[in-house]
Structure 1
């Protein structure tokens, strides 16, 4: 048996075959290439301030994704989902067919239509969570479901956040404040084989 492994090792010797380490995928953060003109992204892509919106640097490709944001400073803000066609300079978002967002006043808008009005308004220090499973978009406030499912979202979808009038949001794509609902996990980049 030892002779077999020795032959195998000798067979590969001198062929130039080397172990190639796998490339580590970048973390999911706010995308400075897809943000509004007056947006400021700091804290290694985890904080948005200024005026306008920003997408995450990766779409939601897995079956069940979760992400969060903490309201560091109130003002005009929103969190939700969008396609790459979304106008990231349009505040508030949710006025076009490319965005589905929870606004600071507790309303959820898409295509300039009110989809839900929550019974609670998120405040400074609160954490808003989002789940998306390619069937439903759901929202959570401080770990509790807001019972406002939205269906019918189509296309390649990204997390989106927007701010104005002094709002500051910290986004979390991993190391969450609250445990994601059962079966949901952080957004992962799609890996392709060469």
Structure 2
């Protein structure tokens, strides 16, 4: 019994808060969700930070600092919506996004936009019940529809970027930062906070 009690703290180091431990205690690991402090005034965040409705945009609570990130959004109800990346300078009350230099988004009309320009027009256009996925590797932002690439790579993304989502006209989006509907492409993974990467 003595040997088990002596080994338990070493075997389960992640459960204990110990300043000498280099691991991150599980109790301190924060989930990636929509950030209620970085949201448009008329947006509503529900379901523990995983559903967006109302009117406006919201950023996730974690920037994309790892080499290869992946996240998804399910279109629960159609309307006006968008998904992509944005810096904190993005105006979250001005939708649709993609109209300034601070956001790169796929819009509900199938257009991929940045700085007021349509970069691509996708086909097919996402619809209610579909899952739109994003990958980002600090070189390209790519969009997927129900697990298949839309073949519209966006380069030139600049700055410290966050996943961004916007809604209007009755749209409802459910975001997923883990437990995905479709597997992430090879070498891509769920978003991690910077302290989790180290």
Give me the TM-score of the superposition, normalised by structure 2: 0.86
Give the whole-Å Cα distance in 2 for the aligned partners of 1:101 and 1:69. 13
What is aligned with 1:58? 62
What is aligned with 1:135? 139
Is residue 79 of structure 2 the alignment partner of residue 75 of structure 1? yes
Is residue 112 of structure 2 the alignment partner of residue 108 of structure 1? yes
Matches within 5 A, 1:1-194: 20=18, 22=25, 24-191=28-195
Could you say if the C-alpha distance between residues 38 and 19 of structure 1 is closer, same or farther in structure 2, counting changes exceeding 3 Å?
A: closer
Give the whole-Å Cα distance in 1 for the aligned partners of 2:44 and 2:182. 26
The alpha-carbon deviation at position 24 of structure 1 amounts to 2.3
Give the whole-Å Cα distance in 2 for the aligned partners of 1:117 and 1:183. 27
**4+ residue stretches of structure 1 with deviation over 2 A?**
21-24
Give the whole-Å Cα distance in 2 for the aligned partners of 1:35 and 1:183. 30
**Structure 2 runs not aligned, ≥5 long:** 1-15, 19-23
**Structure 1 runs not aligned, ≥5 long:** 1-17
- Aligned to 1:191, what secondary structure does the other structure show? helix
The alpha-carbon deviation at position 40 of structure 1 amounts to 0.1
Over aligned residue pairs, what C-alpha RMSD do you find?
A: 1.5
Give me the TM-score of the superposition, normalised by structure 1: 0.88
Q: Bigger CA drift: 49-58 or 23-32?
A: 23-32
Q: Give the number of equivalent residue pairs.
A: 176
